[in-house]
Structure 1
Amino acid sequence: MLKLYGFAVSNYFNMVKHSLLHKGVDFDEVTVYPNAGADYLSKSPMGKVPCIETENGCLAETSVILDYLEARYPQQPLYPADPWQRTKCLELMKVAELYLELPARRLLPVVLAGAPADEKTVAEVKELMDKGIAAVTALAQFKPYVLGDSLTLADIVLRYAMVVADLVGGAVFQRDIAAEVAGMAEWKAMMASSPISQQLDADTNDAMAAFLAMLKGK
């Protein structure tokens, strides 16, 4: 049976888990935090989560895992069938990762651990996030899903990318990103109402105390 390594507070872990649950794939969860040691490095060479273990071996990097799952488990597809729309889905996924989630992640120590906010870093993060928000505004339809009438991986990736973007956006920049993008607030509510989202959100809340204790113990 496929194994999913990671932890429930990780938004990247939840991107993969959401996809697996949507597709109805049986899998076991193995709780692992980043840089878990030599044994985990044999599965995920950079020590990152998530990672999956398949009948053919292990695979890391979220976007790569999601692509593999689409090819290996074509039931309940999350890529559009049309080649152009599939590529537009990939484009929006990449924008959400590179220009919303990853810049905001640089300021997580400020939000979660009270680290001092370096002005240069804050300015760089704001500039990239401004561009990312503008790109999502240009690319997303929210009718009702990101690319139209069907759920795609763009919805899943954007939903969990926004976890970090919203956290940092609110705490550091005092801004409500969804209020700046037409249709996003309604889309977020719709996504949050799905049984899979509710399950993953509950799992995240249940795992938060252990995650914070792990951080303090470093």
Structure 2
Amino acid sequence: MLKLYGFAVSNYFNMVKHSLLHKGIDFDEVTVYPSAEPDYLRKSPLGKVPCIETDQGFLAETSVIVEYLDARYPEQPLLPSDEWQRAKCRELMKIVELYLELPARRLLPAVLGAAKADDGVVAEVAEALDKGVRALSALVSPQPFVMGEQITAADIVLRYALVVVELVSGALYQRDICAEVAGLPEWKARMAEMPISQQLDAESEKAMAAFMAMVQGK
């Protein structure tokens, strides 16, 4: 049976887990934090989470895992069948990751109390978020989902990417990113009402204490 490695507070872990649950794929879950231990590096070459274990071996990187799952298990597809729409879905996923989530992640240690925010980094991230929000506004018009009538991987990636983006933007910039994109607050509420979202949110909240203890212990 497929195994999913990671931990419930990780937004990237939850992107993959939401995809697995949406598609009805049976899997076992192995709780692990990012690690440079040799045993885990054999599973995930950079020591990151999540990764999955299949009959053929291990696979890392969230977007790669999601695309593999959609190809390997075509039921309940998360990528559009039309080539152009599939490319646009991937475009949106990539922009969300590179120009919203990853810049915001640079300041996550400061928000979690594990480091002091550098003024230069704060300014750089603010500029990156401005660009990311402009791109998101140009690409997204939820109706009711970001690619149209059906939920796609772009919805899942955006939902869990916003966990980090909103945490950082609210704490350090007093900024509501969702409110800056037309239709996104309504989309966010719609996604939050889904049973899978509610399950993963509850699991993340339950695991938060152990995660914070791990962060503060480093």
Q: Give the shorter-chain TM-score range.
A: over 0.9
For residues 126 and 216 of structure 2, the distance between their equivalents in structure 1, rounded to whole angstroms, comes to 28
Kindly provide the amino acid, as one letter, of the partner of residue 41 in structure 2: L
Name the TM-score, length of structure 1 as normaliser: 0.98
- Fraction of identical pairs, as percent: 71
Counterpart in the other structure of 2:133: 133
The alpha-carbon deviation at position 37 of structure 1 amounts to 1.4
The alpha-carbon deviation at position 40 of structure 1 amounts to 0.6
Question: How large is the Cα RMSD of the aligned pairs?
Answer: 0.8
The alpha-carbon deviation at position 110 of structure 1 amounts to 1.1
Q: Give the number of aligned pairs.
A: 218
8 Å contact kept, 2:114–2:216: no
Counterpart in the other structure of 2:60: 60
**Which has the higher mean CA deviation after the structures are superposed, 200-209 or 113-122?**
113-122
For residues 118 and 192 of structure 2, the distance between their equivalents in structure 1, rounded to whole angstroms, comes to 33
For residues 134 and 149 of structure 2, the distance between their equivalents in structure 1, rounded to whole angstroms, comes to 22
Structure 1 consecutive aligned stretches of length 4 or more whose deviation exceeds 4 Å:
none
Listed as ranges, the gaps of 5+ residues in structure 2 are: none
For residues 179 and 81 of structure 1, the distance between their equivalents in structure 2, rounded to whole angstroms, comes to 31
Kindly provide the amino acid, as one letter, of the partner of residue 138 in structure 1: A
1:58-107: per-residue Cα shift (whole Å, max 9, x none)?
A: 00011110110011000000011110000000000001100110000000
Which residues in structure 2 correspond to 1:61-210 (within 5 Å)?
61-113=61-113, 115-210=115-210
Kindly provide the amino acid, as one letter, of the partner of residue 174 in structure 1: Q
Query: What secondary structure does 1:4 align onto?
Result: strand
For residues 71 and 117 of structure 2, the distance between their equivalents in structure 1, rounded to whole angstroms, comes to 42
Kindly provide the amino acid, as one letter, of the partner of residue 69 in structure 1: L
The alpha-carbon deviation at position 151 of structure 1 amounts to 0.2
The alpha-carbon deviation at position 113 of structure 1 amounts to 1.1
**Which has the higher mean CA deviation after the structures are superposed, 14-23 or 111-120?**
111-120
The alpha-carbon deviation at position 36 of structure 1 amounts to 5.2
For residues 32 and 121 of structure 1, the distance between their equivalents in structure 2, rounded to whole angstroms, comes to 29
